[in-house]
């Protein structure tokens, strides 16, 4: 209502899907002004960790308690003795990412080395589930290929924000979703860049069975996608978007942008699936 009245506004919500729904409703307003969706990120999680285990004297003790808590929610048993692998579930080693940092390519290389060292012991196979709050851009593509070449099977799973909510934890309402993967085609003619969303993959196990039956094309897994045509490495600016609605169920898959000047640009594509999970893809384009 504030946007329709031309008022300045700030809104907040705890639920990921509620925020996603609000974003789509705002975008449906004709002439909507630019807005940014932000989260408290690591600061919120750091405060949560400190409050949750404030009776522990050292940061190391809080870190251990935090990992034990995440392993328990994930249904894994703790497996002491590792630096980069902390638990075991169904024969797969489990890494728990730090509260205040994304999982990086360097982290993954260390995880893969340790998986090889621990494979065969305690029933562990050469495989691992990597749990993280955030992941470095493109890790779900480049990282998987790197691990595969090393003979290690990796799955990246996002630690859901609902972990911070005591009610959700008590109700057992926590699910760790595997990261999706998007394929985006690029075409440059003069200073016009055309992007085409060619494919999107998300684990079938994460899709409710009743929904699976109605999916006939991969685009039905995408609820919304957006583009920052000149990403500066800080805040994502939603400069173009397409999304499905009840009236418009078919997703627009092609986006175009005309650059005013020559140069090298970083383009960030953000895809949000039907469960409200974000998948990002970065592209480097040369405009001549």
CA atoms within 13 A on the CB side of 115: 26
Q: What is the structure's pLDDT at 277?
A: 78
Mean pLDDT of 30-48: 72
Task: Count the neighbouring beta carbons within 10 Å of the beta carbon of residue 21.
Answer: 14
Strand order in the sheet with 92-96: 77-78, 87-89, 92-96, 127-132, 153-158, 177-178
Sign of CA dihedral 113, 116, 122, 127: positive
Q: Are 182 and 269 in contact (CB under 8 A)?
A: yes
Which of 29-33, 110-114, 190-194 is predicted with the least confidence, judged by mean pLDDT?
A: 29-33
Q: Are 48 and 169 in contact (CB under 8 A)?
A: no
In this prediction the pTM is: 0.71
Q: Give me 161's structure tokens.
A: 């924000």
Task: Tell whether the model's pLDDT for residue 219 goes beyond 70.
Answer: yes
**What band does 230 get if pLDDT is binned at 50, 70 and 90?**
very high
Residues 152-198 pLDDT 10s: 999 999 998 888 888 888 888 788 988 888 899 999 999 999 999 99
Mean pLDDT of 135-153: 85
Cβ contacts of residue 25 below 8 Å, gap of 6+?
none
DSSP-based three-state secondary structure for 163: helix
Cβ contacts of residue 120 below 8 Å, gap of 6+?
none
Task: Count the neighbouring beta carbons within 10 Å of the beta carbon of residue 19.
Answer: 17
Complete domains list, the chain, with CATH = 1-35 (no CATH), 42-177 (no CATH), 180-287 (2.60.40.10)
Say which residue, 281 or 93, is predicted with more confidence: 93
Q: What is the structure's pLDDT at 122?
A: 86
């Amino acid at each position: 209502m504030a946007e329709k009245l031309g008022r300045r506004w700030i809104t907040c919500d705890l639920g990921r899907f509620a925020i996603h729904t609000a974003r789509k409703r705002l975008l449906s307003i004709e002439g909507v002004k630019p807005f940014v969706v932000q989260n408290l990120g690591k600061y919120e999680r750091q405060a949560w960790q400190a409050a949750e285990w404030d009776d522990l004297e050292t940061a190391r003790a809080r870190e251990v308690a935090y990992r034990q808590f995440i392993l328990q929610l994930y249904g894994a048993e703790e497996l002491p003795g590792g630096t980069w692998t902390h638990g075991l579930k169904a024969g797969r080693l489990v890494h728990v990412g730090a509260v205040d940092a994304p999982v990086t390519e360097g982290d993954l290389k260390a995880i893969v080395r340790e998986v090889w060292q621990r494979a065969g012991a305690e029933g562990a196979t050469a495989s691992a589930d990597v749990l993280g709050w955030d992941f470095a851009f493109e890790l779900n593509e480049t990282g998987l290929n790197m691990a595969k070449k090393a003979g290690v099977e990796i799955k990246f799973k996002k630690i859901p924000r609902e972990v911070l909510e005591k009610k959700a934890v008590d109700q057992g309402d926590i699910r760790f979703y595997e990261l999706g993967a998007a394929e985006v085609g690029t075409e440059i003619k003069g200073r016009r860049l055309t992007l085409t969303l060619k494919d999107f993959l998300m684990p079938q196990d994460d899709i409710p069975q009743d929904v699976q039956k109605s999916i006939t094309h991969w685009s039905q897994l995408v609820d919304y996608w957006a583009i920052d045509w000149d990403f500066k490495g800080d805040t994502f600016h939603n400069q173009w978007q397409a999304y499905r609605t009840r009236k418009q169920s078919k997703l627009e898959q092609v986006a175009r942008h005309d650059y005013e000047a020559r140069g090298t640009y970083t383009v960030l594509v953000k895809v949000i699936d039907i469960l409200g999970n974000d998948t990002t893809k970065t592209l480097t384009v040369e405009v001549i």
